[in-house]
Amino acid sequence: MPNYDRQCPSCGTVALDCLEPVNTPDPICLCGAQTQRVWLTTPAVIPDSIPGGIEIAHGLCNADGTPHRYYSRSEMRDEARARGLFNRVEHIPARGSDKSPHTSRWI
């Protein structure tokens, strides 16, 4: 089900991110006018570029062991693939439990 924005052309009332099926009829506003589907917000897109770069000192560093600066996520991904490396996060529970002290909620 997609998210839509709704706006009343009469009073200007706005409802952002309305989760509704595509074929939903336009609802009636509190003022009595029929709302319209509008695009006021854009979906969040993570850019590939890293402004200023990120310096990696371990794993994806230079061959001589000095840190390497990457300016895009795709550049880091391609270098990791070329070296046979990959990102991996693994949940390992404590003995006799399905809970991990590293993934507990801290308040």
Tens digit of each residue's pLDDT (9 = 90 or more) over 15-66: 988 888 888 899 999 999 999 998 887 767 788 999 999 999 988 999 899 9
Q: Which of 26, 48, 46, 23 is nearest to 36 (CA)?
A: 26
Q: Give, as one character, the DSSP assignment of residue 79.
A: H
Among 66-75, 76-85, 86-95, the range scoring the smallest mean pLDDT is 86-95
Give the pLDDT score at 73: 93
Q: What are the residue boundaries of the structural domains of the chain, listed by start?
A: 3-38, 49-83
Q: Is the pTM of this model over 0.85?
A: no
Amino acid making up residue 3: N
Do 31 and 11 contact (CB within 8 A), yes or no?
yes
**Local structure of 74: helix, strand or coil:** helix
- What's the number of CA atoms in the CB half-sphere (13 Å) around residue 47? 6
